[in-house]
């Protein structure tokens, strides 16, 4: 198995910081792998790179160190614990050296406020930004001895792209890059720079990422695995599990109100309606496929600074049963936003690495359960999505292990 690197776009953010602290704490025997899907059946039947062997790097537009990011998480939400951060502090310092400045093209004013550096687009054409991102990925692989790099987008949510169809083919997309089309979003530039050099890509955010038609074509042609969009971690996870129950019992859900309050930087960025639009669409879309008769489906997201990295969702479900009897169900979910999300980013990196090693390019429908808006998958029922993952694992568990590629012969 090759040396696998995980490149976080948004590497100084809460999810990336928690994932890095967690992975290094697992490596040092300081914590368990609870919360990681690849560490339990059925996935544990497959051979993945060990969590402790993953090498981390990334892009961000902020300057704060991983130690500072982790300390802020501990102070505002208690996760990770301070002792855990102390145990991996040297690792965090080493990884800090591998986080470089990125692009925030079309990420909106809220993200611009976060930036400590001049982002790459300040003095570069779009083609030059892409070249720089490719160089950054390559330099990391060279310096760290990484021969399989997985790029995972955990950057702030961007505003939605208008008319994404204009980038439907690879040719149209590459022409736009060459002609310095400054309407292209940063997430798709990171994705392009990854896929064009054969690096698998996961989009944990609702941003455009690799959903552009031109990027799908590129990934399919080049045989590179990729998948998105928007990690399914809290309220949306519960919705995907509960909605099929109402459908299966022919209980007619009339209204589903979901109100989310959170206090972290993600919440601050989502205060801007332009950044929020994509998140509302992916959260709301889960119910559309499962409950087609729903009369009223609303999601609200509000920023409540004092909550820190904790998110509370309150959902109110109004439904009708036999003899038109009106009934309701309510639930409250309170979760540590990053503790829920971080392990899934490590799972995605491992599963994409596995697919890449087997030459399985293009979108990865078996990963649908990880996402609110799984790219190319209409199935939103969580149990069916998990069945698809189990089937994938069963198919591969029966295979012979992949032979390592022989080293090329040298003269000496």
Residues that bind ligand NAD (CB under 6 A): 9-10, 12-15, 59-62, 102-104, 107, 111, 114, 154-157, 186, 204-205, 230-231, 233-234, 264-266, 337-338, 340-341
DSSP state of 207: S
Q: Give the Cα separation of 166 and 162 in Å (integer).
A: 9
34-42 contact pairs (CB < 8 A, 24+): 35/339, 35/340, 35/342, 35/343, 36/343, 36/344, 36/346, 36/347, 37/343, 37/344, 37/347, 37/370, 37/389, 38/346, 38/347, 38/350, 38/351, 42/389, 42/390, 42/393, 42/394, 42/397
DSSP state of 155: S
Task: Closer to ligand NAD by CB, 187 or 247: give it.
Answer: 187
Task: Closer to ligand NAD by CB, 53 or 183: give it.
Answer: 183
Q: Least CB distance from residue 238 to ligand NAD, whole Å?
A: 13
Q: Least CB distance from residue 220 to ligand NAD, whole Å?
A: 25
User: 352: cis peptide before it, omega within 30°?
Assistant: no
Write the CA distances from 63 to 10, 11, 96, 335, integer angstroms: 11, 10, 10, 27
Are residues 93 and 21 in contact, defined by beta-carbon separation less than 8 angstroms? Answer: no
Q: Least CB distance from residue 236 to ligand NAD, whole Å?
A: 8
Q: Least CB distance from residue 103 to ligand NAD, whole Å?
A: 6
DSSP state of 158: P
Task: Closer to ligand NAD by CB, 222 or 386: give it.
Answer: 386
Write the CA distances from 209 to 64, 187, 408, integer angstroms: 25, 5, 35
Task: Closer to ligand NAD by CB, 10 or 159: give it.
Answer: 10
Sheet strands side by side (includes 310-320): 296-303, 252-262, 310-320, 326-336
Task: Closer to ligand NAD by CB, 275 or 393: give it.
Answer: 275
Task: Tell me the residue number closest to ligand NAD, measured at CB.
Answer: 13
Q: Least CB distance from residue 225 to ligand NAD, whole Å?
A: 20
Task: Closer to ligand NAD by CB, 55 or 282: give it.
Answer: 282
DSSP-based three-state secondary structure for 326: strand
Q: Give the Cα separation of 158 and 206 in Å (integer).
A: 8
Q: Least CB distance from residue 186 to ligand NAD, whole Å?
A: 4
Q: Give the Cα separation of 12 and 339 in Å (integer).
A: 15
Q: Least CB distance from residue 239 to ligand NAD, whole Å?
A: 13
Task: Closer to ligand NAD by CB, 80 or 361: give it.
Answer: 80
Task: Closer to ligand NAD by CB, 338 or 366: give it.
Answer: 338
Q: Least CB distance from residue 315 to ligand NAD, whole Å?
A: 16
Q: Least CB distance from residue 336 to ligand NAD, whole Å?
A: 9
Q: Give the Cα separation of 9 and 24 in Å (integer).
A: 19
Q: Least CB distance from residue 15 to ligand NAD, whole Å?
A: 3
Nearest to 257 by CA among 337, 313, 321, 320: 313
Burial (CB count within 10 angstroms: exposed 0-12, middle 13-18, buried 19+), residue 73: buried
Task: Closer to ligand NAD by CB, 136 or 357: give it.
Answer: 136
Task: Closer to ligand NAD by CB, 79 or 154: give it.
Answer: 154
């Amino acid at each position: 198995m090759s040396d696998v690197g995980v490149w976080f776009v948004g590497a100084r953010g809460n999810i990336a910081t928690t994932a890095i602290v967690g992975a290094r704490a697992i490596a040092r025997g300081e914590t368990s792998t609870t919360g990681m899907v690849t560490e339990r059946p059925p996935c544990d039947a497959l051979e993945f790179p060990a969590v402790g062997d993953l090498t981390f790097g990334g892009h961000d537009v902020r300057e704060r160190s991983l130690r500072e990011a982790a300390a802020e998480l501990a102070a505002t939400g208690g996760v990770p614990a301070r002792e855990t951060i102390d145990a991996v502090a040297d690792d965090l310092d080493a990884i800090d050296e591998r986080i470089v400045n990125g692009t925030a093209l079309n990420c909106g004013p809220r993200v611009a406020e976060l930036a400590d550096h001049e982002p790459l687009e300040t003095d570069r054409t779009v083609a030059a930004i892409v070249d720089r991102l490719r160089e950054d990925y390559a330099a990391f692989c060279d310096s760290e001895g990484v021969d399989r790099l997985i790029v995972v987008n955990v950057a702030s949510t961007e505003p939605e792209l208008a008319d994404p169809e204009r980038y439907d083919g690879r040719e149209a997309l590459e022409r736009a890059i060459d002609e310095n089309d400054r309407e292209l979003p940063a997430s798709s530039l990171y994705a392009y720079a990854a896929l064009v050099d054969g690096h698998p890509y996961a989009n944990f955010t609702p941003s455009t990422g690799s959903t552009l038609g031109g990027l799908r074509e590129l990934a399919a042609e080049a045989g590179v695995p990729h998948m998105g969009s928007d990690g399914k971690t809290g309220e949306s996870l519960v919705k995907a599990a509960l909605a099929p129950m109402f459908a299966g019992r022919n209980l007619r859900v009339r209204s589903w109100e979901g109100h989310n309050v959170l206090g972290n930087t993600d919440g601050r960025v989502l205060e801007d309606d332009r950044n929020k639009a994509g998140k509302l669409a992916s959260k709301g879309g889960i119910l559309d496929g499962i409950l087609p008769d729903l009369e009223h489906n609303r999601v609200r997201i509000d920023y409540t600074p004092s909550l820190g990295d904790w998110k509370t969702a309150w959902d109110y479900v109004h439904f009708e049963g036999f003899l038109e009897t009106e009934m309701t169900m309510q639930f409250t979910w309170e979760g540590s936003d990053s503790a829920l999300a971080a392990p899934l980013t490590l799972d995605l990196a491992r599963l994409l690495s596995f697919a890449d090693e087997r030459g399985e390019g293009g979108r990865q429908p078996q990963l649908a359960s990880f996402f609110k808006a799984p790219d190319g998958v209409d199935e939103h029922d969580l149990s069916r999505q998990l069945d698809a993952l189990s089937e994938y694992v069963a198919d591969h568990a029966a295979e012979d292990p992949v032979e390592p590629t022989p080293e090329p012969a040298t003269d000496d």
